Structure 1
Amino acid sequence: MKQSTLLVIILCLFFISGHAQDRLLSGIVRDAQGRALPGATVQSQSGLGVVTDSFGKFAMKVSADTILLHVTYVGYAAQQIAVRDIQVPLVIQMKEGSISLSNVVITPDDTEIIHSLSKYDLSVRPINSSQEILRYIPGLFIAQHAGGGKAEQIFLRGFDIDHGTDISISVDGMAVNMPSHAHGQGYSDLHFLIPETIERVDFNKGPHDAEYGDFTTAGYVSFKTKDHTDKNLIKLEVGQYGTFRTVGMFNLLGNTRTDRRDQLFVAGELFGSDGYFESKQGFRRYNGMAKYSNEFDEKTRFTATVSTFYSQWSASGQIPVRAVESGQISRFGSIDPTEGGRTSRSNLNLQLVQDLGTATLSNQLYYSHYQFHLVSNFTFFLNDPINGDQITQSEARDILGYKGEYQRHDYLGSVKLESKLGATMRYDWVDDIRLSHTKDRKEVLSDMARGDVKQGNAGVYLGESFTLLPQLVLDAEIRYDHLFFDYNNRLDQTHQSEDKGIWSPKARLNYQAGRNLSFFMKAGSGFHSNDTRVVVAQNGQEILPKAYGQDIGVFFKPAPWLAMNVTLWNLDLDQEFVYVGDEGIVEAGGETNRKGLDLSVRAELTSWLFADLDMTYTKARSVDEPEEAQFIPLAPVFTSIGGLSFDSKTGWTGSVRYRYLGDRAANEDNSVVAEGYFVMDAMINYTRPRYQISMTVENLLNQEWKEAQFLTESRLETEPQPVEEIHFTPGTPFFAKAGFTIFF
Structure 2
Amino acid sequence: MTAASAPIRPIALAAVLALPAVLAHQPCRADDPLLQRVLVEGARAGELGVHDAGSAGTVGHKLLALRPLARPGELLEAVPGVVVSQGGGEGKANQFFLRGVSLDHGTDLRTTLDEMPVNQRSHAHGHGWTDLNFLIPELAARLDYKKGPYSAREGDFASAGSAAISYANRLTGGVASATVGSDGFARALVADSPALGGGALLYALELLRNDGPFKRPDDYRKANAVLRYSRGFANNGFSVSAMAYRAHWNASDMVPQRAVDGGLVDRFGTLDASAGGGARRTSVSANWRRSGDAAASRVSAWLIENRLDLYSNFTYFLNDPVDGDQFNQPDRRVTGGVNASHTWHRHAAGRATEVTLGLKLQNDNIINALHTTRARRRLATTRADHVREASAGLYLEAHTRWSPVLRSVAGLRHDHYRFDVRSDRAANSGKARAQLASPSLNLVLGPWGGTELYFNLGNGFRSNDARATVARVDPASGLPADSVPGLVRTRGAEAGMRRVFTPNLQGALAVYRLDFDSELAYAGDAGTTQAGGPSRRAGIELAARYKIAKWLSADLDLAYTRARARSGARSGLQSGAQSPSHDPGARFIPGAVEGVGQFGLVFERLGAWSGALRLRYAGPRPLTDDNGVRAGGGLTLSGRLARKLGGGLRLELEGINLGNRQGAASAYFYASRMDGEAAAREDVHFHPLAPRALRLTLVKNF
Whether these two folds match at TM > 0.5 is yes
Provide, for residues 119-176 of structure 1, a one-character-per-residue CA deviation record: whole Å limited to 9, x for no partner.
6743664566431111011111011122210110000001001011111110001111
2:57–2:146 Cα contact (<8 Å) kept: no
Map 1:486-501 → 2, pairs under 5 A: 486-492=420-426, 495-501=429-435
Contact in 2 for aligned 1:358/1:410 (Cα 8 Å):
yes
Where do 5+ consecutive residues of structure 2 fail to align?
1-27, 473-481, 569-582
The structure 2 residue matched to 1:583, chosen from 522, 526, 530, is 526
Deviates more, 1:512-521 or 1:501-510: 512-521
- Counterparts of 1:360-399 in structure 2, within 5 Å, are 360-399=296-335
| Change in 2 beyond 3 A, CA 1:556/1:70 | closer
Q: 2:87 and 2:658 mapped to 1: Cα distance?
A: 20
Give the Cα separation in 2 of the matches to 1:496 and 1:524.
Answer: 32
* Alpha-carbon distance in structure 2 between the residues aligned to 1:647 and 1:234: 21
The one of 604, 609, 613 aligned to 1:652: 609
Q: What is the CA–CA distance in structure 2 between the aligned matches of 1:515 and 1:127, rounded to whole Å?
A: 38
Match of 1:235 in 2: 177
Matching residue's letter, 1:279? R
Please name the residue that 2:221 is paired with: 284
The alignment partner of 1:151 has SS state of: coil
Q: 1:113 to 1:635 in 2, by over 3 A?
A: closer
* Aligned residue among 137, 161, 165 for 1:195: 137
- Aligned position for 2:31: 45
Q: Which whole-Å CA distance do the structure 2 matches of 1:245 and 1:43 have between them?
A: 51
Distance in 1 of aligned mates of 2:54 and 2:287: 22
Q: Distance in 2 between matches of 1:274 and 1:421?
A: 49
Q: Match of 1:31? A: none
What does 1:441-520 align with in structure 2 at a 5 Å threshold?
441=376, 443-492=377-426, 495-520=429-454
User: Deviation digits for residues 200-228 of structure 1, max 9, x if unmatched?
Assistant: 00001101111111111101000010011
What code does the residue aligned with 1:445 have? Answer: L
Of the three residues 632, 657, 660, the one matched with 1:699 is 657
2:562 maps to 1:562: no
Is residue 404 of structure 2 the alignment partner of residue 436 of structure 1? no
Shift of residue 230 of structure 1?
2.5
Whole-Å separation in 1 of the counterparts to 2:65 and 2:209: 27
Higher-Rg structure is: 1
Q: Per-residue CA shift, 1:573-601, capped at 9, x if unaligned?
A: 10253210011111221010100000111
Amino acid in the other structure paired with 1:405: S
Greater RCO structure (CA 8 Å; 6+ sep): 2
Report the more deviating stretch, 713-722 or 244-253: 244-253
Aligned equivalents of 1:120, 1:478: Cα separation in 2 = 35
Give distance in 1, aligned partners of 2:214 and 2:498. 44
Question: 1:659 corresponds to which letter in structure 2?
Answer: R
Over 3 Å counting, the alpha-carbon distance change for 1:119 and 1:597 in structure 2 is farther
SS in 2 for 1:101: helix
Shift of 1:492: 4.1
Following TM superposition, by how much is the alpha carbon of 1:299 offset from its aligned partner in structure 2, in angstroms?
Answer: 8.0
Map Cα deviations across residues 454-511 of structure 1 (whole Å, 9 max, x no partner).
Answer: 0001110001111011221011001000000010012448630001110010000011
Letter in 2 for 1:547: T
Report how far residue 46 of structure 1 moved: 4.0
Contact 1:564/1:600 (8 A) holds in 2: yes
Cα distance per residue 1:185-214 (max 9 Å; x no partner): 111111111110000000011011111111
Distance 2:502 2:421 in 1: 58
Which amino acid letter does the alignment assign opposite residue 593 of structure 2? P
Cα distance in structure 2, aligned partners of 1:223 and 1:496: 36
- On the 8 A contact 2:295/2:345 being kept in 1, the answer is yes
Q: Select 2:40's aligned residue among 72, 85, 95.
A: 72
2:157 to 193, 215, 219: 215
Structure 2-normalised TM-score?
Answer: 0.89
Q: Point out the more displaced range, 485-494 or 502-511.
A: 485-494
Structure 1 counterpart of 2:487, from 544, 549, 553: 544
Question: Is the alpha carbon distance of 1:471 and 1:532 closer, same or farther for their aligned partners in structure 2, counting shifts above 3 Å?
Answer: same
The residue identity in structure 2 corresponding to 1:185 is H
Q: Classify 1:731/1:655 alpha carbon distance in 2 versus 1 (closer, same or farther; 3 Å).
A: same
Give secondary structure in 2 for the equivalent of 1:528.
strand
Give the equivalent residue in structure 1 for 2:95: 153
2:107 maps to 1:165: yes
TM-score, structure 1 as length reference: 0.84
Q: Distance in 1 between matches of 2:198 and 2:41?
A: 22
SS in 1 for 2:259: helix
Deviation at 1:712, TM superposition (A): 1.8
Question: Structure 1 stretch 106-115 or stretch 662-671: which is displaced more?
Answer: 106-115
Q: How does 1:331-342 map to 2 (within 5 A)?
A: 331-342=267-278
Deviations 1:235-279 (A, max 9, x none): 00000111100111022337xxxxx84111100111101110000
**Could you say what secondary structure the match of 1:357 adopts?**
coil
Q: Percent sequence identity over matched residues?
A: 30
Q: Cα gap change, 1:69/1:722 in structure 2, threshold over 3 Å: closer, same or farther?
A: closer
Look up the match of 1:82: none
1:429 partner letter = N
2:629 to 672, 676, 687: 672
CA distance in 2, matches of 1:517, 1:661: 30
Change (3 A) 1:730 1:388: same
The AA in structure 1 aligned to 2:220 is F
Computed over aligned residues only, the root mean square deviation of the Cα atoms, in angstroms, reads 2.2
- Confirm or deny: 8 A CA contact 2:297 2:341 kept in the other structure: yes
Q: Hey, what's the Cα distance between the residues in 2 that align with 1:444 and 1:70?
A: 61
- 2:77 aligns to what SS in structure 1? helix
Contact 2:176 2:191 in 1 (8 A): yes
Q: Residues 362, 513 of structure 1: CA spacing in aligned structure 2 closer, same or farther, 3 A cutoff?
A: closer
Amino acid at match of 2:108: D
Match of 2:666 in 1: 708
Residue-pair matches, total: 651
Match of 1:622 in 2: 565
Q: Secondary structure at the match of 1:535?
A: helix
SS of alignment partner, residue 605 of structure 1: strand
Change (3 A) 1:43 1:452: farther
Change in 2 beyond 3 A, CA 1:729/1:475: same
The range that moved more, 314-323 or 349-358, is 349-358
Cα distance per residue 1:35-80 (max 9 Å; x no partner): xxxxxxx98204798xxxxxxxxxxxxxxxxxx9985265xxxxxx
Aligned with 1:533: secondary structure?
Answer: helix
Q: Deviations over 1:281-300 (max 9, x none)?
A: 111011000111112x9984
In the alignment, which residue of structure 2 is the partner of 1:742?
Answer: 700
**2:345 equivalent to 1:402:** no
**Alpha-carbon shift at residue 337 of structure 1 (Å):** 1.1
Is the partner of 1:406 in helix, strand or coil?
strand
- Which amino acid in the other structure matches residue 214 of structure 2? F
